[in-house]
Amino acid sequence: MTQHAYLALGIAVLKAEAEAVAELCNRLDSGFEQACELILNCQGRIVVTGMGKSGHIGNKIAATLASTGSPAFFMHSGEASHGDLGMITKHDLVIALSNSGETNEITSLLPMLKRMGIALIALTGKPQSTLAKSADIHLDVSVSKEACPLGLAPTSSTTASLAMGDALAVAVLQVRGFTEEDFAMSHPGGNLGRRLLLRVSDIMHTGDKIPLVHADSSLKKTLLEMTSKGLGMAGVIDPNNNVLLGIYTDGDLRRTFEQMPNIETAIVKDYMTPNCITIKAHSIASEAIKVMHDHKINALMVVDEDNTVQGALNMHDLFRAGVI
């Protein structure tokens, strides 16, 4: 088999699965809206169940729902009748996946779910199947053909079910008013969580670690302060308080020495950058990255509403915190 043949087969599979997903758009109706309402108004948890490949897809759908504000978990259909039904409460909602709609492990659960008064959403490829007819809401995820040339391996059908699950989760997410910060709360351990949850106050230098000099300080004293604190800058404050008047950076240092001043007698306020770019302590740390990038700077002073210095940070602090 040539490389060209592999590419052709791969393209054929992708096209078949893309067509299967596209066909779903023509089937979405009021049933989809009702399913979304059931998920949105569920007082308990969404229990997703399925067997085989449908089970794997159901597991992913449950994970997507859980991470987007709809508490959910996956229940293996085969284990449900051997004790795992105890996971379900009367306040829960069940989403069952079965392409045939006749999976024994699922259909055997239907009488018990009905007795418990549990609402059921079914995703099947057979609208006339046992599962479809027993469900409160049926979502048709049938496909015209599987991407598998033998028509045997679940391919297009599982992709269609996965896409329908994503459609439910995202539609409910939007109506729920789920935000980026809400999303980050369920992903605190990853890069996304750090970017969205970590605030400037969590990583900034405070107290004696802030490089600060008074406006009437000499350039020599300023350079010593910059060197000892290692942030590549020093905040210049009013001698009578901590109000920030400007900043003196490595860049200012290079420009200063073009004038060859006497660093023992020259004072920093004559060489600082006044009205410098600052950030608030409550700002999200990723905002500090954007500010630095937009203004082509590597460090920021952190101030409050009165422009009083609260802290300082530079690009290296953001790297160490894993925000970048």
Cα–Cα nearest to 284, from 202, 163, 222 = 202
pLDDT value at position 271? 94
Q: Which residues contact 253 (CB under 8 A, 6 or more apart)?
A: 223, 226
Domains, the chain, ranges and CATH? 3-178 (3.40.50.10490), 200-320 (3.10.580.10)
Q: What is the pLDDT of residue 191?
A: 61
pLDDT score of 204: 97
Residue of 309, 308, 316 whose CA lies nearest to 288: 316
Q: What is the pLDDT of residue 260?
A: 82
**Confidence (pLDDT) at 53:** 95
Give me the torsion for CA of 98, 101, 105, 107, rounded to 10°.
Answer: 140
**10-residue stretch averages of pLDDT, the chain, 324 residues long:** 80 94 94 97 96 96 92 94 88 97 96 94 97 97 90 90 97 85 63 73 95 95 95 94 94 87 92 95 91 94 96 93 78
Instruction: Using DSSP bridges, classify how beta strands 244-249 and 309-314 pair: parallel, antiparallel or unpaired.
Output: unpaired
- Identify the residue whose tokens are 């210049």: 236
